[in-house]
Amino acid sequence: MRYAGVLQRIGVCYLIAGLFVVVTAKRADREGFVPNITAIAGALVALLVGYWALMRFVPVPGCGTGLLDQECSLAAWIDRRIMLGHLWKPRWDPEGFLSTLPAIGTVFSGVLVGEWLRSDRPVMRKLAWMACIGAVAMIVARYLLNPFFPINKNLWTSTYVVFTSGFAMVMLALCFWIVDVKGLRKWAAPFVVFGTNAITAYAIATFVAIMSLRLHVWSAGRSVSLHGYAYSHWFASIAQPHNASLLFAVFFVVVCFLPVWVLYSRRIFIKL
Enumerate the H helices of 84-157 as residue ranges.
100-118, 123-139
- How do beta strands 32-34 and 27-29 pair? antiparallel
Closest CA to 40 of 120, 126, 105, 134: 105
Residue 33 has pLDDT above 80, yes or no: no
* pLDDT tens by residue, 139-190: 999 999 999 999 999 999 999 999 999 999 999 999 999 999 999 999 999 9
Give whole-number Cα distances, 256 to 6, 155, 190, in Å: 18, 28, 12
* pLDDT reported for residue 70: 86
Closest CA to 103 of 171, 16, 180, 19: 16
Read off the pLDDT band of 30 (50, 70, 90).
Answer: low
- Per the document, the length of the chain is 272
161 Cβ neighbours under 8 A, 6+ residues apart = 48, 102, 103, 105, 106, 109
State the pTM of this model: 0.86
